[in-house]
Structures are given as C-alpha cells and as structure tokens.
Structure 1
C-alpha cells in the first residue's frame, strides 16, 4: 500500500494511547529513525522495530498503522496471515519465509523502510503448543518459530495488530519493543468521535450519546455511515437524534448495549 494513497483521517484517542502513538510517530520519521537505528547498532543491539497494537475490536489499531505510514511517508506491506497458510505440508512455512525475504529486498531497494503489517495476527501470536501430534498444529508452531527468528534479525519496521489480550506467547511479548494497548474510548473521546463523524450533531447530543452508549470508534463510524446512506435515500441531511439512538440500540447483535435508565 503506497503511503501517498492513504487518506488522512482524524483519529481520537484516549490520553495514554495518544502519548504513545505521538512518540512512535516521531521515532518513525526518516531522520529520527535513522539516528535511533545507528545508535542501537553501535550499542550492539537489534536495530529493528517490532510493535504490537492490541485491544478490543473497532478501537483504531489498523487505521493507526495507516495514519503512521501516511505521516512518515512509509509504504505498507500488509500481511493477512490466513492467506499465507496452505493445506499442503511445508507450504505455509515456505510462504512465511518468502514473505520476509521479499520484505528484506524491498527495504534494500527503498529509501524508507516500509511497515510490515501483520493485520489481525491472533492466529500466530498465541501460546505455542507443546507435544503436538497433528500436522496442522505442527505447522502453526513452525510458522510461529519462523516469525520469532525473523523478528530477531529484522532491520525494518514490523507492526502486528491483534484483539488478543490474555494469550500472547511470552516469546513474542519479549520481542515487541513497543506494546500499545487500545482501550475503548472514554466518554470524552466518544463525544469527540461522534462530532467528528457527524459534524452537524450538537455538542449536547454528542455528549448524551457518548454517555449512554459504550460504543467503540468503529461502531460509531458504522452508525455515521448508516446515517449517510439514509440521508441519500431520504434526500434529507438533517440529523434525527432519535434515529441515531435507534441505530445505537441495534448496532450490536448481542443486544447488550442498551442505554442506561434515564436517557
């Protein structure tokens, strides 16, 4: 994914996430990154940057990678793990090795090292299994071992995104230099997201929606998109707050997002 094709998007973070992402963005800038890598090499340390963004779905992990790439002018080599896996014995291991070989070649021929993005990497970051007998389990362990070895010698930038929060293999945990947890947005952050997604929404209504519905940024964006579709169908751009409320109530299939008493 070319950096120049990435659209700018205003992401709203909680304070702790914002500070860490701002710091990472600064480090990944061309001049600062070269300086940091040179210092690490002179100290005999690994110069590669491996980061993990983890937390609940819809909290902006993948979009944050896109925005970091856009801000720092770095292309993205996106990896969808499921597409690498093969039903043929040994093919998955060859695919993952070829992936890292390709990334190394791209880095050698690029002014800026691209970001190697392992998106939704839950399948390869879990605890490795011991005493496995099934071929598929052996394959999973082999893939994990190859990735761990490659992370040791990586000279570029690798970012993994995952919803995994409790079952991360300790070997992976040690190799990630930056570990940024993406929490559900606070009430204040949700209100800002509502107003970013629906600029015509009043500050008062945005705060009420944020207070009563514990939605992620992705869920709020989904509702905003639904509003845009309805506006086209009805030929009316005005915001019907009751319609937005109804959309909030039905956003989650589990129906566990009912508003608090007193809405």
Structure 2
C-alpha cells in the first residue's frame, strides 16, 4: 500500500516538472473494500493486518499532495476517519424519471414511448441496473432470435432489484 502512494508522489513530481503542473489522479474504485470501518484487533491477525493497511492509508492521505478520488456504493461502510479526510463528498442518486426514460430509449430504441415511460416511472433503477436488463435482453435475443415481449421486460425489471422478490440461494 505504501508503494502505491510513493509511486503516485513520484509520478506527481514528474508530471509537475514535465507537463505544465498537471498532476494525475489517484483513484480507489470500490474503496469500501479497503476504507471500511476498522475492526477490533482482538478478532485475529487478518483484522490486525487490515487495520495496519488502513492506518498507512490514513497517514498517506494526511500528507497527500495531489488528488485522490475514492468511489463506493457502500458509503455507510466507510470508516469515519477516512470520510473526514475527504474534502468533497458527492452522492449520486438514481436518475430522474426523465433521465431513466432517456437511458431506456438509448439502450432499447425499439421500445414504444409509452413502455419506456412506464419502465422509467415505475421502476427506481440505476443506470447500471438498466444496463443489466439490456444485457439480459441482448443475450435472450441472441439465444432465441427474438426480442422480449413487454411482460418479459416487466419480469426483468422486477427481478433486477435484490430484495424485491423472494429468492432462495441456488434456485431461480
């Protein structure tokens, strides 16, 4: 972990010297995996190692001379010490009904307008969840040679959100 920050610091110095002061961004995608709430060190050696890594990150964030961005869809899992060190925190909500309609239209332009509006209005899906449905539709089209009917799209929308329907592990 320390090497990541050392390499980033060296790259920033190199960029400042050679590229008109522009510096790179250090990106931690799915940051909740390493910036999560610290664990009680009595839980075992793995917890101790995780806490040590997190302490290194916290120390490096304090003296960082650059731009660090961390992304997560589990912000509630972040340790307060990390959250406090981020200057800006931006939360992206699910798209508006109008934006969802545009996403549906851009992905499945063969859908009638009334169906697009219905999906956008009745299903609080993120852009990524709509993409998942579109991938399933595409796979189905490849396998069957036909587009899904309205009822099949409804089922896909209902199944996309975990917890919306009862599921048992290992069974569909």
What's the TM-score bracket when you normalise by the shorter of the two chains? 0.7 to 0.9
- Is 1:194 matched up with 2:99? no
Give ranges in structure 2 of 5+ residues lacking alignment: 167-172
CA 233–170 in structure 1, closer or farther in 2 if over 3 Å, else same: closer
2:160 maps to: 251
CA 108–244 in structure 1, closer or farther in 2 if over 3 Å, else same: same
1:158 maps to: 68
Q: How large is the RMSD of aligned CA atoms in angstroms?
A: 2.5
Q: Which has the higher helix share?
A: 2
- TM norm structure 2: 0.78
What's the CA shift for 1:191?
1.8
CA 228–167 in structure 1, closer or farther in 2 if over 3 Å, else same: closer
What's the CA shift for 1:125?
2.2
Q: Which has the higher strand share?
A: 1
Pairing partner for 1:106 from 6, 11, 23: 11
Q: What CA deviation, in whole Å up to 9, does each residue of 1:14-53 have, x standing for no partner?
A: xxxxxxxxxxxxxxxxxxxxxxxxxxxxxxxxxxxxxxxx
Give ranges in structure 1 of 5+ residues lacking alignment: 1-95, 258-263
Contact 2:159 2:165 in 1 (8 A): no
CA 239–199 in structure 1, closer or farther in 2 if over 3 Å, else same: farther
Contact 2:32 2:77 in 1 (8 A): no
What's the CA shift for 1:159?
1.1
2:170 maps to: none
- TM norm structure 1: 0.54
Contact 1:115 1:156 in 2 (8 A): yes
Alignment: residue pair count: 161
- Is 1:182 matched up with 2:92? yes
Q: What CA deviation, in whole Å up to 9, does each residue of 1:131-176 have, x standing for no partner?
A: 6462222212111111111112212221111233334322212210
What's the CA shift for 1:253?
5.4
Question: Could you tell me how far apart the structure 2 residues matched to 1:229 and 1:217 are?
Answer: 18
CA 230–164 in structure 1, closer or farther in 2 if over 3 Å, else same: closer
For CA contacts below 8 A with separation 6 or more, give which structure has more relative contact order.
Answer: 1
CA 245–160 in structure 1, closer or farther in 2 if over 3 Å, else same: same
What's the CA shift for 1:108?
2.7
CA 224–149 in structure 1, closer or farther in 2 if over 3 Å, else same: same
What's the CA shift for 1:243?
2.9
Q: What CA deviation, in whole Å up to 9, does each residue of 1:74-97 have, x standing for no partner?
A: xxxxxxxxxxxxxxxxxxxxxx00
Contact 2:41 2:51 in 1 (8 A): no
Please give the residue correspondences for 1:219-258 in structure 2 after superposition, counting only pairs within 5 Å. 219-236=129-146, 240-252=149-161, 254-256=163-165
Max Rg structure: 2
Question: Could you tell me how far apart the structure 2 residues matched to 1:222 and 1:121 are?
Answer: 22
Question: Could you tell me how far apart the structure 2 residues matched to 1:123 and 1:207 are?
Answer: 36
